[in-house]
Amino acid sequence: MCCKTYNEKRKQQLNRVLEIYSYQLKICIFDKNIYRIIFIVKKNTKCPLKKSLRRILLYRGSLLRLQALGVKSVYSYTLGKETGVSAEQVRKDFSEYQIKGNQRGGYYVEELINEMGRIFFQGGNKNIIVVGRGNIGSSLTNYDKFVQRQINIVASFDIDPSKQRSRSEIPVYGMERLGEIIKRFTVRAAIIAVPEMAAQLVCDQLVGFGIEGIINFAPVILKVPDDIIVNNVNLSDEIESVIYCVTRETENERH
């Protein structure tokens, strides 16, 4: 095969790659009739939390449960046992985020909750909207534990007129009111819970109206500007991951 023919075939192959992965493309350099391509794959989570911050969320969840049971103080050992980490790790995490307490007498539960709320901007704007009132969207809007975290779902949206007419504590609007509601409540984050075919269009609309952060339940990687935060939650992947691990453990035990 001559060099010219090879290069033409190579270009056709690479053009196909560009077509499939165009959303990942960052730089395309032409060098002596041969493409050199540099691209960055968008991560599933563009704003990953540090492991210590994820543990802080676990601690807070445990503390809220303890508070509901009437517990006033807690030791690092007890909190570690509740969340599956060592007491030493709990103290290290508290030290990193300047969470203070009396190690001998224990930590006051209410003070810990307040301190952890400070870390996650508890006093700030936590208004959020949900786009899509199917099974997932409806479950999210009806989830009462968001109130404990001061997460306020101000509205939801769906293209189905029957859902817009339904009585709900959280109103259901048509998509034509998306910009109005985002502006009225100063919403900066949104949940996408629509079918995958509609997810990118909804995403584009949200970004166009000033949304800066998206929690995406649709099984598709969204194309967004670099300054937009996207966390993808794919329930099917999570379930399959657990099944895979369980199956692998079972096979290892057999061998």
Asked if 114 and 132 sit in the same domain, the reply is: no
Contact 154, 188 (CB under 8 A): no
- Answer yes or no: do 12 and 62 share one domain: no
Q: How confident is the model at residue 214 (pLDDT cuts 50, 70, 90)?
A: very high
Q: Give the percent of the chain with pLDDT over 90.
A: 52
Does residue 249 belong to any structural domain of this protein?
no
Higher per-residue confidence, 27 vs 218: 218
Look at strands 25-31 and 34-39 and give their pairing.
Answer: antiparallel
pLDDT: which is higher, 239 or 253: 239
Between these two residues, 4 and 116, which has the higher pLDDT value? 116
Residue 251 lies in a domain: no
Contact criterion met (CB below 8 Å) for 149 and 124: no
Residue 186's domain is classified under what CATH number? 3.40.50.720
The pLDDT value recorded for residue 126 is: 87
Q: Is residue 246 part of a domain?
A: no
Structural domain containing residue 9: 3-39
Give, rounded to a whole angstrom, the gap between the first and last alpha carbons of the chain. 50
In a domain, 231, yes or no: yes
Alpha-carbon distance of 17 to 2, in angstroms, equals 23
Amino acid at 217: F
Identify the pLDDT of residue 149.
Answer: 79
User: Which of the two residues, 47 and 78, has the higher pLDDT score?
Assistant: 78
Mean pLDDT of 25-39: 34
Instruction: Please count the other Cβ atoms lying within 10 Å of the Cβ belonging to residue 148.
Output: 13
Same domain for 146 and 65: no
Locate tokens 């984050």: which residue? 189
Is the pLDDT at 33 greater than 50? The verdict is no
pLDDT of residue 241 exceeding 60:
yes
Q: Both 115 and 131 in a single domain?
A: no
Mean pLDDT lowest among 18-22, 102-106, 121-125, 181-185: 18-22
pLDDT of residue 71: 92
Instruction: Count other Cβ atoms within 10 Å, centred on residue 64.
Output: 15
pLDDT band of residue 120 (cuts 50, 70, 90) is confident
pLDDT of residue 39: 32
136-147 pLDDT per residue, tens: 999 999 998 888
- Indicate the range of 4-8, 123-127, 144-148, 160-164 predicted with least confidence: 4-8
Contact 94, 154 (CB under 8 A): no
State the burial class of residue 230 (Cβ atoms within 10 Å of its Cβ: 0-12, 13-18, 19+). Answer: buried
pLDDT averaged over the chain?
A: 81
pLDDT of residue 238: 85
Note whether 140 and 225 are same-domain residues.
Answer: yes
Q: What is the mean pLDDT of residues 164-185?
A: 93
Check residue 14 and give its pLDDT. 46
Q: Give the C-alpha distances (Å, rounded to integers) separating 181 from 131, 173, 198.
A: 12, 9, 20
Report the distance separating Cα 181 and Cα 128, nearest Å. Answer: 10
Alpha-carbon distance of 173 to 160, in angstroms, equals: 9
- 46 pLDDT above the threshold of 60: no
- Are 100 and 132 in a shared domain? no
Overall domain count for the chain: 3
- Three-state SS for the chain is CCHHHHHHHHHHHHHHHHHHCHHHEEEEEEECCEEEEEECCCCCECCCCCHHHHHHHHHHHHHHHHHHCCCCEECHHHHHHHHCCCHHHHHHHHHHCCCCCECCCEEEHHHHHHHHHHHCCCCCCCEEEEECCCHHHHHHHCCHHHHHHCCEEEEEECCCHHHHHCCCCCCEECHHHHHHHHHHCCCCEEEECCCHHHHHHHHHHHHHCCCCEEEECCCCCCCCCCCCEEEECCHHHHHHHHHHHHHHHHHHHHC
